[in-house]
């Protein structure tokens, strides 16, 4: 279908007959995500608020289907690239954010840490260097005022505002630690996400929400005891990137539910099901 035919098709979105509009919308959906740039141009050129609204809805639907496809491919590839997974979640609300731009921002943080980092230091001292750069020099901090905000799950916003919930801060920290080649992974605790440094018999934990404070297995025992929860291996051992993105999506679900935005809540549930390979949230 050439541009002239596409324009003629879009022009029918203002038809008074709803059956015609539904038919046109179905035809546009069948063209897939490749038509999004054209629809965006038509939105800019239109002066009809009804047509603009219908184009906006179509663009969102097409972007959402494209996002589900990309998330499925990311999951099927093993979810090895955590930043890509976080970027995909971000595109739900910020579809124009580019992965390359996020990579550049992470690289800039990494370079600042690398300049002060020394491979021959004790792991505790290496962590302290990372803490110094991320939490003191760059001023990343816990978002205690808006703990349940959807923005905490959007890595582009976290990079800009330098504030997030435990998971958002841990993701930034983890991406830097991975680039440094450190044996650092995420740990999926109840009500709290933390990091662990684990190499052979040497293991300790890092709380990014508390500016990188180091603690031990006994501290996790006390935390679980406070919550009256029995200890489980998952509360002490590294988790994978797919589990991290699933938890990000759970946080988003909670955020939209708290805001009463049930349309977005339903869509994020769909995204969770894709990442979780059919598992319901």
- Give residue-wise pLDDT tens across range 153-195: 999 999 999 999 999 999 999 999 999 999 999 999 999 999 9
Three-state secondary structure readout of 10-35: HHHHHCCCHHHHHHHHHHHHHCCHHH
Question: Rounded CA gap, 106 and 119, in Å?
Answer: 20
pTM: 0.91
Beta-ladder partners of 192: 189
pLDDT for residue 221 is more than 80: yes
Tell me the pLDDT tens digit for each residue of 129-158: 999 999 999 999 999 999 899 999 999 999
How far is Cα of residue 31 from the mean position of the Cα atoms in its chain? 28
Tell me the pLDDT tens digit for each residue of 5-43: 888 888 888 877 888 888 888 888 888 888 898 898 888
Work out the mean pLDDT of the chain and round it to a whole number: 94
Tokens (6 digits) for 189: 């605790």
Check: CB of residue 281 under 8 Å from CB of residue 272: yes
CB atoms within 10 A of CB 250: 17
Does 110 or 39 have the greater pLDDT score?
Answer: 110
Name the band, by pLDDT with cuts 50, 70 and 90, for residue 198. Answer: very high
- Dihedral sign for Cα atoms in the order 5, 10, 13, 19: positive
């Amino acid at each position: 279908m050439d541009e002239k035919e596409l324009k003629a098709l879009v022009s029918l979105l203002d038809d008074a007959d709803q059956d015609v509009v539904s038919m046109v919308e179905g035809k546009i959906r069948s063209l897939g995500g490749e038509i999004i740039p054209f629809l965006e141009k038509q939105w800019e050129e239109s002066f009809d608020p009804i047509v603009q609204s219908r184009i906006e809805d179509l663009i969102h639907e097409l972007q959402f289907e494209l996002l589900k496809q990309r998330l499925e491919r990311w999951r099927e590839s093993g979810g090895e690239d955590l930043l890509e997974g976080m970027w995909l979640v971000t595109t739900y609300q910020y579809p124009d954010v580019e992965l390359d731009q996020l990579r550049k921002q992470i690289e800039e943080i990494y370079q600042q840490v690398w300049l002060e980092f020394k491979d021959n230091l004790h792991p505790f001292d290496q962590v302290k260097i990372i803490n110094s750069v991320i939490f003191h020099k760059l001023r990343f901090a816990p978002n205690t005022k808006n703990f349940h905000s959807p923005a905490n799950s959007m890595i582009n916003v976290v990079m800009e505002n330098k504030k997030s919930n435990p998971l958002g801060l841990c993701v930034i920290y983890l991406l830097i630690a991975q680039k440094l080649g450190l044996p650092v992974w995420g740990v999926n605790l109840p009500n709290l996400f933390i990091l662990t440094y684990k190499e052979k018999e040497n293991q300790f934990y890092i709380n990014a929400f508390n500016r990188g404070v180091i603690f031990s297995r006994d501290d996790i025992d006390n935390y679980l005891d406070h919550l009256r929860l029995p200890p489980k291996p998952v509360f002490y051992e590294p988790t994978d990137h797919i589990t991290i993105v699933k938890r990000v999506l759970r946080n988003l679900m909670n955020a939209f539910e708290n805001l009463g935005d049930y349309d977005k809540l339903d869509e994020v549930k769909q995204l969770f099901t894709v990442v979780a390979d059919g598992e319901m949230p």
